[in-house]
Amino acid sequence: MSSTATRHRTGLIVLVALAAALLVAGLVLGRSSIDRLVPSLPDVPATEFVVGLGAATAVVALIAALRRAAAATRAGARARALESVDGGAVACGIRNRELVARLAELRQPGSRGGTLPGRFSILADDAGISFWGGGRRPSRVASFPWREVRNIRSDSTVAGSASVPVAVIRIRRGGTSIELPVMLSDPRPGRYALTDGPFFATVRAWKARHRAALAAEGLELPPLTGAIPVVRPHAVA
């Protein structure tokens, strides 16, 4: 997980460096053309330029805030609908490309899975674990009965410049064993990924449901992984 995220970050840095190099080369090669073009441009009063730039920035920020609010409202309605119908534990996940690609690998031939939204719901109940999109009428994107879940463990990945925890769910289906990296969303305003105590509590709850379901069917229990840290609220700075 961490090595994969590091490779992605390194690739992104290389792409940005190449783009910067191409931009500098273009400016150097086209310097004469730029020198001829600049004097012909109309003068723009500094005050009007600053006001226009500020207005454009405000509009972009407002649109982004409205989109985040709409997504949060939709995710909240979906979670309430799932809890009222099923009664299982619902968590919120953050979509990432690796998760989407691995879900596609697990998709059964001929089946048509839905699209995983940027913030999706994860339902863990007595039957298994499933991923959901939609709003007040949730739509199931993928589901896995507990017998297909080999183990659940915690790991970490890099998001931007920060290291955040992820829940890694290993699925065994049709002779294929694939790990699904699930990053959980923090419901608190201004936060991104769920961390510390709340994250580990969610993973422990999933592991407990998994073991209970396998035991009820008389199936072999997965080996216990290392202890999951319990972070007390007063220990978090």
- Distance, in Å, from the CA atom of 80 to the CA atom of 83, rounded to the nearest integer, reads 5
Q: How far out from the chain centre does Cα 156 lie?
A: 13
Express each pLDDT in 55-110 by its tens digit.
777 777 777 666 666 666 676 777 777 777 767 889 999 999 999 999 988 887 66
Answer whether 124's CB lies under 8 Å from 88's CB: yes
Measured CA distances, 5 to 17, 106, 116, 155 (Å)? 18, 21, 20, 12
Rounded to an integer, the average pLDDT of 116-127 is: 90
- Closest C-alpha to 141, from 112, 118, 119, 165: 112
236 pLDDT more than 50: no
- The whole-angstrom separation of Cα 203 and Cα 63 is 34
The predicted structure's pLDDT at residue 1: 45
pLDDT at 187: 82
**pLDDT tens across 22-60, in order?**
666 655 555 566 566 556 656 556 666 566 667 777 777
Amino acid at 233: P
Top-confidence residue, 122 or 41: 122
| Residue 106 confidence (pLDDT) | 87
SS3 150: strand
Query: pLDDT by residue (tens digit) across 167-217?
Result: 999 999 888 889 999 999 988 777 888 888 899 999 999 999 999 999 988
Give the per-residue pLDDT at 60. 75
For residue 52, count CB atoms less than 10 angstroms from its CB and return exposed for 0-12, middle for 13-18, buried for 19 or more: exposed
210: which residues sit within 8 A by CB, 6+ positions away? Answer: 129, 146, 149, 152, 222
Closest CA to 181 of 156, 205, 203, 160: 156
Residue in the block written with tokens 């674990």: 129
> 3-class SS at 221?
coil
HSE, side-chain direction, 13 A CA sphere, residue 218: 0
Length of the chain: 237
Dig out the tokens for 131 from the structure: 């991923």
Query: What does the alpha-carbon distance between residue 49 and residue 38 come to, in Å, rounded to a whole number?
Result: 16
Q: Which two tokens stand for residue 165?
A: 């925890």
CB burial of residue 72 (10 Å; 0-12, 13-18, 19+): middle
CA dihedral 93, 154, 126, 135 (to 10 degrees): 0
